[in-house]
């Protein structure tokens, strides 16, 4: 049960999979210019899921860190700050991926050629 209770690698892998899916959708958007709005909607959904997973990983990471601090029987500053730093890795990654996916969701401008 402890494997599911901490917010670390499994969230980062899930968020990374969302990034790969977003890149695939972006490539589809570049190839097919007439369905941009439909692909942009999918990209925005992927970005939202990335941010939701980031917040969820933050809460689970904080709960996990606080649990081990309580088991230690006292608050040692190095234990506290190390636990908090570890709990922030996955959320920061998720927010960064969410921003990248939001940037991929921006509409592409078509070049107009007048001949």
Predicted model pTM = 0.78
Burial 25-62 (b: 16+ CB within 10 A, else e): bbeebeeeeeebeebbebbeebbebbbebbebbbebbb
Q: What is the pLDDT along the chain (115 residues), one digit of tens a residue?
A: 455 455 567 888 889 999 999 999 999 888 887 788 888 899 999 999 999 999 998 888 888 777 777 777 777 777 777 778 878 888 899 999 999 999 998 877 764 555 4
Question: What span, in angstroms and rounded, lies between the C-alpha atoms of 73 and 14?
Answer: 34
Question: What span, in angstroms and rounded, lies between the C-alpha atoms of 96 and 86?
Answer: 16
State residue 65's pLDDT score: 77
Neighbours of 112 (CB within 10 A): 5
State residue 47's pLDDT score: 94
């Amino acid at each position: 049960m402890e494997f599911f209770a901490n917010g670390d690698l499994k969230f980062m892998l899930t968020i990374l999979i969302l990034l790969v899916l977003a890149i695939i959708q972006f490539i589809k958007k570049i190839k097919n210019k007439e369905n941009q709005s439909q692909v942009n909607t999918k990209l925005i959904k992927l970005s939202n899921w990335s941010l939701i997973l980031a917040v969820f990983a933050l809460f689970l990471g904080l709960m996990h860190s606080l649990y081990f601090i309580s088991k230690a029987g006292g608050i040692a500053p190095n234990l506290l700050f190390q636990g908090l730093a570890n709990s922030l890795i996955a959320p920061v990654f998720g927010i960064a991926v969410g921003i990248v996916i939001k940037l991929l969701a921006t509409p592409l401008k078509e070049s107009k050629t007048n001949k």
